[in-house]
Amino acid sequence: MKHLLLAAGLFLAPLQDDAQIKELIRKLDDSDFQTRDEAFHALVKAGPKAVALLKEAAEKSTSAEVKTRAADAIKAIDLAVKAASVYREPARINAAFADTPLPRALEDVAKQAGVRLEGLAHAPEAPLTLKLENATLLEALDRICAAQEQLTYAHASEGVVSLVKEKHAQPPAVYFGPFRVQIGELTITRKSDFKATTTTASFTLASEHEKHLKPLAKVRFEISKAIDDQGTELQVARVGDAEAAALGGGGAVVIMGLGGMRPPDSDRRFEAKGFSPAATGFRLLQGTATFLFPLQYTDVKFKAPAANDREETGDFAFKVLQTRQRYIEFEVTRTKGTEAVGQDEIDRRLDADSVVLVDADGKEHKAESLQPSGLDSIVIGPGGVERKLKYRAMFATAGVRNAKELRFRFIDKTLEKQAPFEFKDVRVP
């Protein structure tokens, strides 16, 4: 017991010097699993200051356990450092405005959020009475602008918000950290025949994030529960997606949207089936938006791309299938392991915004879009299941033939941040 208490004290105390780090490294070979595990997590928490001694242990230790765990700790620390570089929680805004001149209130919000306001002259001198508790910038600005006759805002650039003299559109929204999810258009269609009336709702989901963040141009929406205002549980699928699974019986449908050249906040359209004939909206719409941040990537390059050219990176291979005047088609396969490559996995890893073609004159052209172009084949053999996925990169401003280079980023590791949302009592406008 004394041993465990001393160990716990060491794990919980801040690491001040090399002696403590060395003691934790020694405990990576302890006979007790919990002690080894706690030492590992304490070293990861210590961060970069532990890396030098961990590298020494990984190279020189005579214990296989220490060598393995030290190498794993170095990787975990590196991953944590990269995660901190691409994501941080937003500043929180706390303020109680009572008949405060609107320009002054906006300046207070901007100061707390750490952004600069432009176009403050568009803000009327009307008094503002509003209480903000632990609000994010998006929520604070939405609430302030929604209360004004003619005032909205736009992100001019990172760290800069522009006020605009226009009516602020405010559809139903949910805020989570630096993210916002909104319901856009919502329509209900009723079709009758001689037997029954079928009622279907179509709606869009849109996402937004504070501009200090740079997620990939892919937002994954997962709808976990949908109930109409008559209490009927609904089936939900993405419009036009024949392969989407229906939500029902406690399940969930996962919708992956390829960004292409669309902005990260592009809408996603869904269809909810099974509405009661008298329904006019949702009692509950619940789900999660997942934002992806690149942590580590590889540049895939094809010099003078032509059919059958092949490049490999990590566990994956890329092969050019055909080149046409305005597009290049290539396939993706897994080169290691027996697990078949999944469409969602590749959609996450391909950075659509990074696809660039260098033409015969050396000029660079960004792809207009990068989209899946169908499943090529599935081969089952001694090595497992091989699934080949085809993608098509479209170029509006360049001729593909005789191009000098095609390049794009393939994400090796991503950081996922989830924004759960729950909308209640949403009616058709």
Burial grade of 189 (CB within 10 A; 0-12, 13-18, 19 or more)? exposed
Q: Please tell me the distance from the alpha carbon of residue 425 to that of residue 218, in angstroms, as a whole number.
A: 28
Residue 125 lies in a domain: yes
**Number of separate domains in the chain:** 4
Domain at 129, CATH number: 3.55.50.30
CA 372 – CA 330 distance, rounded (Å): 10
Is the residue at 88 inside a domain? Answer: no
Residue 83 lies in a domain: no
For strands 350-358 and 93-101, give the pairing. Answer: unpaired
Q: Do the domain assignments include residue 207?
A: yes
> Are 113 and 158 members of one domain?
yes
Distances (CA, A) of 4 to 10, 37, 41, 200, 287: 10, 13, 16, 61, 42
How far is residue 211 from each of residues 80, 171, 201, 242, 296, measured CA to CA in Å? 21, 20, 32, 34, 21
Q: Which of 170, 191, 212 is the last residue of a domain?
A: 170
Calpha distance 318→307 (Å, rounded): 11
141 and 35 in a common domain:
no
In a shared domain, residues 123 and 57: no
**Do residue 71 and residue 14 come from a single domain?**
yes
Q: Which residues contact 45 (CB under 8 A, 6 or more apart)?
A: none
Contacts with 342 (C-beta within 8 Å, 6 or more apart), sequence order: 387
Q: Does residue 191 sit in the same domain as residue 125?
A: no
In a domain, 80, yes or no: no
Same domain, yes or no: 260 and 198: yes
Condensed to tens digits (0 to 9), the pLDDT of residues 124-176 reads 988 999 999 999 999 999 999 999 999 999 987 788 999 999 999 888 999 99
- Count of residues in the chain: 429
Q: Identify whether residues 336 and 348 lie together within a single domain.
A: yes
Buried b (16+ CB within 10 A) or exposed e, 346-380: bbbbbbbbbbbbbbeeeeebbbbbbbbbeebeeee
Nearest to 391 by CA among 337, 339, 316: 316
The verdict on 316 and 423 lying in the same domain is no
d(Cα 64, Cα 60) in Å, to the nearest integer? 10
Structural element, H or E, at residue 78: helix 64-86
Between CA 333 and CA 406 the distance in angstroms is 18
Residue ending a domain, choose from 145, 170, 195: 170
pLDDT of the chain, 429 residues: tens digit per residue: 333 333 333 444 455 578 899 999 999 999 999 999 999 999 999 999 999 999 999 999 999 999 999 999 998 998 888 888 889 888 999 999 999 999 999 999 999 999 999 999 999 988 999 999 999 999 999 999 999 999 999 987 788 999 999 999 888 999 999 999 999 888 888 887 777 778 888 899 989 998 888 887 778 898 999 999 999 999 998 775 433 333 333 333 333 333 332 333 334 889 998 888 888 899 999 999 999 888 888 999 999 999 999 999 878 899 999 998 899 999 998 887 656 666 777 887 888 889 999 998 899 999 998 888 865 444 444 444 556 788 999 998 877 878 999 999 998 888 889 999 999 999 887
DSSP string, 144-198: HHHTSSS-EEEEEETTEEEEESS-----SEEEETTEEEEEEEEEEEEEE-SS-EE
143 vs 195: CA distance, rounded Å: 47
**Long-range own/partner contacts, residues 23-26 (CB < 8 A, 24 or more apart):** 24/50, 25/53, 25/54, 25/57, 25/61, 25/66, 25/70, 26/66
**Domain assignment of residue 215, yes or no:** yes
Measured CA to CA, the distance from residue 413 to residue 228 in angstroms comes to 39
Q: Quick one: which of 273, 279, 286, 269 has its CA closest to 186? A: 269
Per residue in 230-240, pLDDT (tens digit) is 999 999 987 75
Clarify whether residues 320 and 402 are in a common domain: yes
Task: Identify the domain containing residue 134 by its residue range.
Answer: 93-170
Q: Is residue 7 part of a domain?
A: yes
Quick one: tokens of 172?
């139903």
- In angstroms, rounded to a whole number, what is the distance separating the alpha carbons of residues 408 and 357? 9
Query: Does 82 reside within a domain?
Result: no
**Are 26 and 56 in contact, with CB atoms under 8 Å apart?**
no
Contact 291, 276 (CB under 8 A): no
Q: Which of 170, 203, 222 is the last residue of a domain?
A: 170
- pTM, full prediction: 0.70
Do residues 193 and 147 share a domain? no
Same domain for 48 and 137?
Answer: no
Same domain (yes/no): 114, 27? no
